[in-house]
């Protein structure tokens, strides 16, 4: 069980950091344009976006391995840890303000993950 939880923490962290890198890549980008030049210079050659895409691909390949190894009813609910990591990333990386009700919600998600992992 501990191994499963650690594996899910790693997979979820890969997903969240993939999204964090996508956000970092988008924050300094000019207004979106559907032109080849824009997509090539602003999207494909953007290192932040490239790292994010690579992390998301790796996370999904890892997810396939996890699906093969562990019961779906236990690992899938643990993906909700992404909400926790995502909110913490918003606070610590992007300096976003999080209200008390959001903290209550994240606490409830963590409690739910605990109960599911104990099953």
Three-state secondary structure readout of 53-115: HHHHHHHHHHHHHHHHHCCHHHHHHHCCHHHHHHHHHHHHCCCCCCCHHHHHHHHHHHHHHHH
Give Cα 99 to chain centroid, integer Å.
21
pLDDT for the residue 75: 87
Structure tokens at 55: 């992390």
Tell me the percentage of the chain whose pLDDT exceeds 70.
99
- Reported pTM: 0.82
Q: For residue range 27-66, list pLDDT tens digits in order.
A: 877 787 777 777 777 777 788 999 999 999 999 999 999 9
Residue 21, domain extent: 2-118
State pLDDT tens for residues 69-82: 999 988 888 888 89
Helix (H, G, I), strand (E, B) or coil at 2: helix
| Number of domains, the chain | 1
């Amino acid at each position: 069980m501990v191994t499963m939880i650690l594996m899910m923490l790693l997979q979820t962290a890969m997903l969240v950091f993939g999204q964090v890198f996508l956000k970092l890549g988008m924050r300094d980008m000019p207004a979106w344009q559907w032109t080849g030049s824009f997509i090539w210079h602003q999207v494909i050659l953007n290192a932040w976006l490239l790292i994010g895409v690579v992390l998301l691909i790796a996370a999904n390949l890892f997810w396939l391995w996890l699906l093969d190894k562990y019961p779906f009813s236990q690992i899938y609910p643990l993906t909700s840890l992404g909400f926790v990591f995502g909110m913490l990333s918003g606070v610590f990386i992007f300096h976003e303000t999080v209200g008390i009700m959001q903290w209550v919600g994240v606490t409830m998600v963590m409690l739910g993950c605990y109960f599911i992992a104990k099953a």
